[in-house]
Amino acid sequence: MTDVSLTTCNTYEKTEIRTALEKVLSPLGGLGWVQSGMLIAIKANLVSMMKPETAATTHPALLCELVRMLKEKGAEVVIGDSPGGLYNSFAVNRVYSATGMKDAEREGATLNQNFEMREASFPEALVARDFTYTAYLDEADAIINFCKLKTHGMMGMSAAAKNMFGVVPGTFKPEYHFRYPDHKDFASMILDLNAYFAPKVKLCIADAVIGMEGNGPTQGTPRKIGALLASASPHALDLACAYLIGLGVNDVPTLQVAHENGWIPESVDALKIDGNLDSFVINDYHNIHVRRSLQFEGHGKFAAMFVRSALRAVPRPDKKTCIGCKKCAEICPAHIITMKNGIPTIDRENCITCFCCQEFCPVGAMKVHRPLIAKLLNHKK
């Protein structure tokens, strides 16, 4: 049985997309599981009001073709997400327009207009035994997780597993960052969301035609990868995605937690992959190296604290780029950003390094800063 399938897709042209989607889904059984009359929810990555060419969101051309394929099977399709910010008709429909989702609507998809929220009880969770989620997913018979491959300030990489954080309504997201400030706990929470919805998620697809490198997940630089990937497992898919951009299990907290729980192997070498993964690898991909979960026991409590602090990546404003809009101060879950002379000042002692300020800065002025010692220790020749 195939764990991950991948194929070439160099452009967002309609004919190439159709061929690529059919080819990447074929080793997984295609869309044979789709039955006429089913309501299928496509959980896209619509993080913010970003145009498709910014490479921050799932490209509408891919969604349009998938909608056509599902409609041909007799299914009804709803596309949704909960971007950062208000989760209501006005805010989300602005995101739909900016990200090109109206194109998918013209192909017969419905853009979610149900902004109700539900409470989940999940006793078997790793950490998130209760959480709030978007109610429209309950109406669906099946879910397709269609993510975008990007760098991410807090998690190192955003792909299939991280995409499911979008089931949490936007106004609740800062609360979850504050509730789970430790990177490993936050990653565990994300995996809990994936586990809760796993019975409905039939397919995960990654838009890696044009990925995002650098200051992701919203203000990075588009980078051509030229691939589509698919899997029944978000964790297997993410392991393959990470490999393409030069990352491994220990570089991405969600992968680390998934491996520790036995959901993925340590290396892609142990996965059954349909396609030539090595042919898509980009050796100079500009990644964000997040805080590692290193162990320093045996060296003393204060020594361990010093080393962790020395290796800790933090958000830092670029004064030349900052426009003083106060968005970072408004979005900060810990409320530790103040404006001084039009420039954000961060209370480092109380910063939880969730990188919300970096993710939602509208001009990319907030950067992920790595201390010199971390750069030296992680330098690759």
Q: What is the pLDDT of residues 327-373, one digit of tens each?
A: 999 989 889 999 999 999 999 889 988 889 988 899 989 988 755 54
Q: Does 291 fall in a domain? A: no
Candidates 378, 379, 366, 376; CA nearest to 154 is 366
For residues 185 and 126, state if they share a domain: yes
Q: Does 313 fall in a domain? A: yes
Q: What residues make up the domain containing 318?
A: 301-377
Structural domain total, the chain: 2
Q: Does 295 fall in a domain? A: no
- Report the CATH number at residue 319: 3.30.70.20
- Report the CATH number at residue 252: 3.40.50.11440
Q: What is the pLDDT of residues 103-152, one digit of tens each?
A: 999 999 999 999 999 999 999 999 999 999 999 999 999 999 999 999 99
pLDDT at 380: 46
Candidates 251, 242, 243, 264; CA nearest to 194 is 264
For residues 262 and 199, state if they share a domain: yes
For residues 164 and 263, state if they share a domain: yes
Q: What is the pLDDT of residues 13-54, one digit of tens each?
A: 999 999 999 999 999 999 999 999 999 999 999 999 999 999
For residues 312 and 261, state if they share a domain: no
For residues 124 and 207, state if they share a domain: yes
Q: What is the pLDDT of residues 218-258, one digit of tens each?
A: 999 999 999 999 999 999 999 999 999 999 999 999 999 99
Q: What is the pLDDT of residues 49-72, one digit of tens each?
A: 999 999 999 999 999 999 999 999
**CA-CA distance, 137 to 117, in Å (whole number)?**
10
Residue 5: strand, helix, or coil: strand
Q: Does 54 fall in a domain? A: yes
Between residues 303 and 217, the one the model is more confident about: 217
Q: Does 294 fall in a domain? A: no
Q: Does 209 fall in a domain? A: yes
Other beta carbons within 10 Å of 10: 13
